[in-house]
Every structure is written in structure tokens, then in C-alpha cells.
Structure 1
Amino acid sequence: MTTALTRVAAFCERYGLDVPIIQAPMAGACPPELAVAVAQAGGMGATGAVLDSPAKIEDWARRFREGSSGPFQMNLWIPDAPPDGDGGAAAARAFLDRFGTPGEPAGASPVFTEQVDALLAAGPTVISSIMGLFDPPTVERIHAAGIAWFACATTLDEALAAQDAGADAVVAQGIEAGGHRGTFDPVAAASTGVGLLALVPQLADALRVPVVATGGITDGRAVAAALTLGASAVQVGTAYLRSPEIGIAPAWSEALGAAAPETSVLTRAYSGRPGRALPTPFVRAWTEAGVAPAGYPVQRALVGQWRRGEAAGVDPVNQWAGQAARLARPESARVITEELWRAARALLPA
């Protein structure tokens, strides 16, 4: 068995890192300035491009490269199958009426194949996937361009499927993680919940490719634990949410700092896909009323429409939160990244 630091050194050399810290690709909360700050500390910056047009993808990569020559990751969701019928839109729309008047529907969503083309043209260090796997022709194009593919997995079966499909690394997402669950099956996502402590060593034992641990990693102790369990690097999201590079609303930031481990909840209220968030009045309303949100992406489109209208009580943004949110600090992403590794390194054997 290799030691944690041997694994870390090999991973960092392969991907041009000084520290084994990767910024999570949080769609809607990944300005280039955040990724630049992480890269300046020796880690890997990232963006979640699920909602981005090809032009926005190109612009993000340009702005990142203006601030850093470091490595970066760009992430896409694998599209869900089309919903049955109206996808639950009628019932969800009727429930949203209680919050006020919706605005105009948004235009057409970005085309997945065009997003893939834009990511390949942008040339990141890593293209990553969540909610499933790229098809073989896309994997071939990624590798032909000299880009690595990281696949998010929430179970051992998903991780093995990712490895068999050609993934260069598997991002092991524990149930502790804030934001959307990466489970391949949207139905199973609501009930499949493996903790990181159980997930990482089993993936490390079973896989030939490196494991990147994510979920509940907000301080150096968690980084050291994940690496000791067999990960080669960690991916961090909630720990950066309070950084000034993102600039989230003060109320959300304060709520993160006060959240107990049991505070956050899994909800479909924002997008139709389960994700871990703060239990805001809007999120609780869906549970208390016993009304099921529409499926993805129908629910996401509806919530966006009400946000563009005069709808008091609809959260203006998705208030995601991991189970270790209380440990997140309102400091620069560069300082957070440096401190995560300094504290972790002090706990790892030489």
C-alpha cells in the first residue's frame, strides 16, 4: 500500500498542483476570481458550466487565464432523460402561485453537445461529469485533446462504471456534501446516501484510478482523514462559500456559520434533483405542504421564472450547505486553501 503523501505527490505532479485541494465546480457560485485564488494557493480552480452558454464558457476560461496559469476544471451535468408528461409542472406551478406572480419564462437552455464543444475548445486541465457518464465518443474526444476526465460517483457501482468508461479519476461524493447529489439515477438520488468515511476506502481498494474525496471537507482534519482513507486529493465546496471572491448574501453566509451538522436537508425544491441545502422557509414549505416539486429540469425552470417575477418568499438563490458548513470561514479562497493543506500536512506522517 502506498502512503498518503506518496499518492498526493503523484496526483499533484500529474495535474500540476502544489497542494491536493480542488475547488468544487459549484454552478452559479464559481466566478473566475474564486478559481484564480485557489490556483494561486497551489490548488485547482473550477467552474460548474451546466447553465452556461458556449460564449460564457469561453469567457470564463479567458478570465481565469488572465489571472492564473494554473490548472482548472470545468464540469457538466449529464442530461436526464426527458420527463414523463409535464414532469409534474402543473402541480408545482399551482404551489408556486402562493408566492406571487411569475416572470417571463427563460429562453432555451444551453445545448449539451454545444457545451461539450465549448469545453473542449477552452482546453481545461480537467473536464468533469456529474449525474452520469459521458458516452464513449465524448470520452475519446476529451482524451484526444489531452484533457483528463474526472467522474463524480456516489456509490461503488457508479465508481466502477466510471473507471470502465475511461475516467482518469473518480470524485467520491459523500452524503455530507452540499449542493446536488451526483447519483446517476435521479430516482435513487433521494435514497442513496453513503457517507464519505465508508465510501472512500472502498473505492480506493476497488479502483485502479485515483480517488478524489468530497463532502463535509471544511478543515485540515477532514483533508487529512480523507487522504489517510485512500484519497489522492480532496474537492472542497462549502468551505469556500463565505469567501469574498464569491460574495454570497450576508444572510446566507451567517446561516452557514451558525449551521449545526444536522441543520442542512436534502431537498428537490430548487431544481427537481435532490441537493443538500439550508432549511429556508421556501425549502420547508414544500415539505410542510406535502407537495412534490416537479422533476429536473422542470422545477429549475419554474423556480427561475418565479424569481424573475414578483414572488416574495422564493429564495433568490439556492442556499446550498454541506454538513460541515459551520467550519466555513469568511476569508479569501487563497487563505482557505493554504490553511487547509497546512493543517492537514501537520497531521499526516512524514
Structure 2
Amino acid sequence: MSSALTDLFPHPIVQAPMAGGVSVPRLAAAVSEAGGLGFLAAGYKTADGMYQEIKQLRSLTTRPFGVNLFMPQPEYPGASTGSTGAAVAAPPYRAAVDVYAHQLAGEATWYETELGDPDSGREDGYDAKLSVLLDNPVKVASFHFGIPTPEVLDSLRRAGTFTLVTVTTVEEALAVERAGADAVIAQGVEAGGHQGTHRDLPENDGAGLGLLSLVAQIRETVNLPIVAAGGLMRGSQIAAALAAGASAAQLGTAFVAAPESGAHALHKQALTNPLFTRTELTRAFSGRPARGLVNRFMREHGPYAPAAYPEIHHLTSPLRKKAAASGDPQGMALWAGQGHRMARELPAGQLVEVLVAELASARTALSTGGGLR
């Protein structure tokens, strides 16, 4: 790994930035204090909300931490007025959003709430958040759903910020290298939450690579440090990712159950609840592929959800909030990676220590020919 990042934290463990209230300052602080790299998630927050969390985190730790931003989504052509003054029909995807909204009417009635406004915004305050990070630099910034411009990456570098970009293919990693980012986060298909694909093409749903294959292929093609992400729950798995060519490992689901996590109690419980037996990639909650525990909402609506992010995210937001408030995990987005049944209810700092010990043991086993256990 580039020494610029290696020197920031002693253990090769990164806490994934999980948007939606999971990656709160107290979680990031606990991970950083234990020698990993804690992360804040700026997705779905205002620029001021992000800034306030940065200030809070700085009051909890003097160690380095990261902040993650969602890239603005490409503009889709909506209903407009043509040069002759005649109305131009909305594109097919917009009609699909309307159909999906009609399908969700029963959910709104059940939870006694209104559906959200699908046109609530596509850019997630990106420019304002960048301004905050340039005025108040953090040690690490990562980006999801695309690549910042070379100018943005250069500005962050001059501010002293190390930049990472999530990729799901070798082609995306090559594009990140050309843009000038410092490292890539290789996200395998096993990962919980949203897949960080740069172009959301429905024909590619479920076609992602497993983490070890992805890391190995990127390692042979791209000359950038790699942070491996996707289903990692044990130190032996981290050792395997490092052996495949990664320099560090990013874990999300492993930290969801920690007491410092901001995840809803029902979400934490569901990770090991026998009622939730598997995960799937779904568009049901947001319109973009995301891996979560299979529940009633996913089963009933996943097959019909259109490729329309963030419209579907905005549309279902009140439903998800009301389901959580009413204690109904069957209507919540229970994001989780494939290793969710291996979750441990440990304080975040203790979990880092356990993972480091497991990693050391696995490396010793590898060096002596004992194999990973």
C-alpha cells in the first residue's frame, strides 16, 4: 500500500462508510482509536450535517478517519417542452417509477404514511460537501457510484487528503487510475449495501465478481493500492484478501452489530436472526442494486422495482422509516453482506483487536504451511 495511507493507521482494517445512520461518529472514533480507519458516511446528509459529524468525530479522536461521498447521478431526460411548445413525453424509466409508486400504494396505506417525492434530488449536495472537505480537510476521502474529476482529485491531494474510489470491475479500476485517485476499493458482489458500480446497467444485475477474483484481477492490471471489500467478517478472510493482492480490508456488516453503530436495533438483531436466512441484491428500496437480508418487502417488490436511483430511494424513504418506527423489520432495508451470520456483538474497538489477532494467526498459519482456519 502507498506509505501515504499506511502511515495513517497501524492495522489494515477499514470500517466501511455505511449511509443511512449506521456509520456515526462514535463508531468511527472507536475504530480509529483501536488502530483501524474509521469512516463517516456523508450520503443522504446535508453538507452542514456532514460538517457537524466531522466536528463531533474530531472531539472524540485525534486519529485519522475518512469521509465518504456519493457521486451525483447522471441526469435522465424528464418531461419537458419541445421547441414547438408541445409537451414531450416522459422517458420509459419515469413511467416505470410511476407504475412502481402505484404498486407501493398498499404499503403506504398499511404503514399509514405517504410515499416520498421521487424528484427530491439527484446530486446529494456533492459540490457543497466537496467545499467543506477542501476548507476542512480530512485525511481520507472515498467516493461511491463514480469517479470525481481529475481536478477534484488533485485539489483534495493538495489539501492533504488521500483519495479512494469504489470499483466493481477491472475497467472501472483502470478509469480510476487514469483520473488520478490514490487507491481503489475493490467491492466484491458479496458486499452488503449498494454496489458501487459507475454505470447502473440492469443487464449487469448479479453479474459482479467475487471479491478474491476481483482483487487478483485488479492487482494484475492496475498500479494502485487496493482496499478489499465484500463479505469479510473474520481475520482469516482478511488474510486471504491480502494474499490476493489487497493492502487493507474494508468491513461493513461486521461493524453493524457493534454497540457504537447507529443501526436500528432490529437491523442488528436481524443479522443473526434465524428468520433471515439469506441475502440478495435488490432494487426494491432504492432503484439501485444493493445487498440486504431477504424480507417481505424485498420478496414482494424486488422483481418489479425499476432501475431508477435515487428516485426509488426517495419514494420508499417514508415507508422504511415508518416500518422501523413501528418495529417491523419486514418493511426495512436490512443491508447486509453474505457473511452476516458471522456477526459478533462486540464493541467496535474490541472487534478490531479480535480481527487483528485472527489476522496474525492466519498469517502465521500460511507462513508455516498450516493453511487458513
Compute the TM-score of the two structures, normalised by the length of structure 2: 0.84
In the alignment, does 2:318 pair up with 1:305?
Answer: yes
The CA deviation at 1:30 is: 0.7
Would you say the 8 A contact 1:239–1:329 is kept in 2?
A: yes
C-alpha distance in 2 between matches for 1:285 and 1:208: 44
The CA deviation at 1:11 is: 6.6
Would you say the 8 A contact 1:87–1:294 is kept in 2?
A: no
Which structure has more relative contact order (CA 8 Å, sep 6+)? It is: 1
Aligned counterpart for 1:83 among listed residues 69, 76, 87: 76
Aligned counterpart for 1:291 among listed residues 304, 310, 315: 304
In the alignment, does 2:130 pair up with 1:144?
Answer: no
Would you say the 8 A contact 1:102–1:307 is kept in 2?
A: no
Alignment of 1:180-259 (within 5 A): 180-187=194-201, 190-258=205-273
1:207-242 deviation line (CA, Å, top 9, x unaligned):
222111000111111111111111100011000010
Aligned counterpart for 1:40 among listed residues 33, 46, 64: 33
C-alpha distance in 1 between matches for 2:95 and 2:125: 20
1:282-308 deviation line (CA, Å, top 9, x unaligned):
111114xx4234610110111013346
Alignment of 1:1-350 (within 5 A): 7=1, 10=3, 13-14=6-7, 16-28=8-20, 29-84=22-77, 85=90, 86=94, 88-99=96-107, 100=109, 101-103=112-114, 105=116, 108-109=120-121, 110-187=124-201, 190-258=205-273, 263-287=278-302, 290-293=303-306, 295-307=308-320, 317-349=332-364
The CA deviation at 1:105 is: 4.4
Would you say the 8 A contact 2:284–2:304 is kept in 1?
A: no
Would you say the 8 A contact 2:276–2:295 is kept in 1?
A: no
Would you say the 8 A contact 2:238–2:249 is kept in 1?
A: yes
The CA deviation at 1:140 is: 2.0
1:34-88 deviation line (CA, Å, top 9, x unaligned):
0000001101110121211111111111111101011111111212212343363
The CA deviation at 1:326 is: 1.0
Would you say the 8 A contact 2:115–2:316 is kept in 1?
A: no
RMSD: 2.5
Larger Rg: 2
Give SS of 2:335's match. coil
1:84-125 deviation line (CA, Å, top 9, x unaligned):
433632111111111114337469544221121122233111
C-alpha distance in 2 between matches for 1:116 and 1:203: 28
- In structure 2, the CA distance between the partners of 1:315 and 1:224, relative to structure 1 (3 Å rule), is same
1:126-165 deviation line (CA, Å, top 9, x unaligned):
1111111001221121112111110111111111110111
C-alpha distance in 2 between matches for 1:123 and 1:247: 24
C-alpha distance in 2 between matches for 1:324 and 1:141: 37
| Gap regions ≥5 residues in structure 2 | 78-89, 368-373
The CA deviation at 1:249 is: 3.5
| Gap regions ≥5 residues in structure 1 | 1-6
Would you say the 8 A contact 1:286–1:293 is kept in 2?
A: no
Would you say the 8 A contact 2:29–2:38 is kept in 1?
A: yes
Code of the residue aligned with 1:42 in structure 2: it is G
Would you say the 8 A contact 2:215–2:226 is kept in 1?
A: yes
Which residue of 1 is the match for residue 82 of structure 2?
none
Would you say the 8 A contact 1:131–1:184 is kept in 2?
A: yes
Bigger Cα displacement from structure 2, 290-299 vs 67-76: 290-299
- In structure 2, the CA distance between the partners of 1:307 and 1:326, relative to structure 1 (3 Å rule), is closer
Code of the residue aligned with 1:300 in structure 2: it is H
- In structure 2, the CA distance between the partners of 1:202 and 1:64, relative to structure 1 (3 Å rule), is same
C-alpha distance in 1 between matches for 2:41 and 2:259: 19
Code of the residue aligned with 2:317 in structure 1: it is G
Bigger Cα displacement from structure 2, 96-105 vs 170-179: 96-105
Code of the residue aligned with 1:276 in structure 2: it is R
The CA deviation at 1:261 is: 11
The CA deviation at 1:314 is: 8.2
Bigger Cα displacement from structure 2, 76-85 vs 133-142: 76-85
Would you say the 8 A contact 1:267–1:276 is kept in 2?
A: yes
Code of the residue aligned with 2:295 in structure 1: it is T
- In structure 2, the CA distance between the partners of 1:23 and 1:253, relative to structure 1 (3 Å rule), is same
Which residue of 2 is the match for residue 4 of structure 1?
none
